[in-house]
Structure 1
C-alpha cells in the first residue's frame, strides 16, 4: 500500500473476525512502529500483549469502568474529563452522574473479541514534559508516546489488520497496576485492540485543511491552495 492510502484508510476498528493474528505478523507491526519519534529518542514505551484470560478479565473490567464514566460525560453533553475555558480541570461537574449504567454497551463489546489486546505503558522517567508547570492541563508528554501508538495502527493496516487506540483503561490504571506488573514510574498510556476487521471503513470524514491551519495566528487567515 502507498503511504497516503494507509493514512487515509486507517480508521478506528472496533469489530473483528475470529481470525488469529500470528506472532510473526504482530512482530512485524511492532518492528515498524518502533521507528516512531520520541523526545530525546528515549523511546519510553513498553507494550504488554495480554493473553492470560485472568489478566484480560482484569483489564476489561477496568477499561469498561473508564468507558462508563466517559459515557456519563457525553450523556451530559460534555467532553469527557475535558478542561474548562481556562484550560484546567475542575473536577466532575454536578450534571455528570458517574454511577449511571450505559444503556448500550455495543460500542465496547467488540473490543474484547480482538485477538490482540495490547496495553501501551509509558516510562514517566523518560518523558520530557516541558509544560509540566503550565497553568493548564499538561499535553506535551504524550508527544513521546502516541506517535508510536499511531505507528502501530498504520503498520497493522499494512498487514491487513485493523485496530483502535483507547484510553479508557488509564482512568483506572491502579486497578491493573499489580496484575500488569507496573512500576511506580510507569503509567498506562493506551489500550490498543488489533485484529482482522469485519470491514475497513470505505471513507473517513475529517475536517478540511482550511479548518485547522492558519497563518501566523490562531485567528489568522487559513492556509489554502
Structure 2
C-alpha cells in the first residue's frame, strides 16, 4: 500500500469478521514492525500472542472492569485518568459506577477477536529522560509506541484492521500475573487484529493550523504558504 494512503487511512478498527488470522500472517506483521525505531536501538518491546481461551476470557473481564471505570468517569464529566484530573472526583465517579451498563460489542466479545497481542516494554532499557520530572512521564514510550504503530501499519498491508488499546494497563498487575510477566516489564498496549467488517474511508482529524505554530505556543499557525523566516 502507498505510504501516505496508509498514514491517512489507518483507522482504529474494533469490529471484525470471524475469519482467523494465521500465525504466518502475524509473523510477517511482527517481522516488519520490528524495524521500528527505539532509543539506542534497544528494541525493548516483547509480545505475547494470546490464544488460550481461558486466558482470553480473563483478559476480557479485566478489560471490562477498567472499561466500566472509564465510562463512569466520563459520565461524571471528567476526562478519564487525565494526568491533571481531580483524583477525588475520579474516585467518587468510580465508586458510584456507570449510570447504565456500558455498551460495546467489542468489549463483550473481546475474547473472540481473531488476534490478541499483549505488548510489553523492558523497563531496564528505556531512556525515560523525564523520569524524575514532577509531572506525568511519557518520554520512555517513544521507544515503544512506534513499534505498536508499525505493527498496525503492517497489519493494514496484510488487509487487516486493528486497534491499540491501553485499557489493560489499568489492571497491569493482574495481567502481569496472568501471563507470567517479570516485574521489570511494563504493559504497553494490547493490540487486537482481524479482518474488518467495515473500513472507514474518511477519518476526522484536526487541521494542521489547529496544532502547529511558529516560534511560540499559540503563535502564528503554520501555513502551507511560503512565509519569511
Classify the TM-score, shorter chain: over 0.9
C-alpha RMSD of the superposition = 1.5
Q: Secondary structure at the residue paired with 1:79?
A: coil
3-state secondary structure, aligned to 1:178: helix
2:44 match? 44
Whether contact under 8 Å (2:121, 2:186) holds in the other structure is yes
Give secondary structure in 1 for the equivalent of 2:121: strand
1:216 aligns with 2:215: yes
Give the C-alpha shift of residue 91 in structure 1: 2.6
Q: Residue 147 in 1 paired to residue 143 in 2?
A: no
* Contact 1:62 1:173 (C-alpha < 8 Å) held by counterparts: no
Hey, what does 2:87 align to over in structure 1?
A: 91
Q: What count of residue pairs does the alignment treat as equivalent?
A: 221
Residues 1:104 and 2:102 aligned together? yes
Q: Which has the higher helix share?
A: 2
SS of alignment partner, residue 87 of structure 2: coil
For structure 1, the residue ranges without an aligned partner over 5 or more in a row are none
Structure 1 residue aligned with 2:227: none
Q: How does 1:121-140 map to 2 (within 5 A)?
A: 121-140=120-139
Contact 1:161 1:196 in 2 (8 A): yes
Give the distance between the partners of 1:6 and 1:80, measured in 2 at CA. Answer: 30
Distance 1:92 1:49, change over 3 A: farther
User: Deviations along 1:20-71, whole A, 9 cap, x unmatched?
Assistant: 1111111111111111111111110001000011111121111111111111
CA distance in structure 1 between the partners assigned to 2:117 and 2:170 by the alignment: 16
Q: Which runs of 5+ in 2 are unaligned?
A: 225-229
Q: How much has 1:99 moved relative to structure 2?
A: 5.1
Shift of 1:217: 1.2
- TM superposition score normalised by structure 2: 0.91
What is the aligned partner in structure 2 of residue 188 from structure 1?
Answer: 187
SS of equivalent to 2:168: helix
- Which has the higher Rg, Structure 1 or Structure 2? 2
Compared with structure 1, are the counterparts of its residues 98 and 146 closer, same or farther at alpha carbon in structure 2 (3 Å cutoff)?
farther
How far did 1:178 drift? Answer: 2.0
CA deviation profile, 1:89-124 (whole Å, cap 9, x unmatched): 653425523451452331523543321011001111
CA contact (8 A) 1:15 1:111 kept: no
Tell me the distance in 1 between the aligned counterparts of 2:109 and 2:58.
Answer: 17
CA-CA distance at 1:222 after TM superposition: 0.8
Partner of 1:66: 66
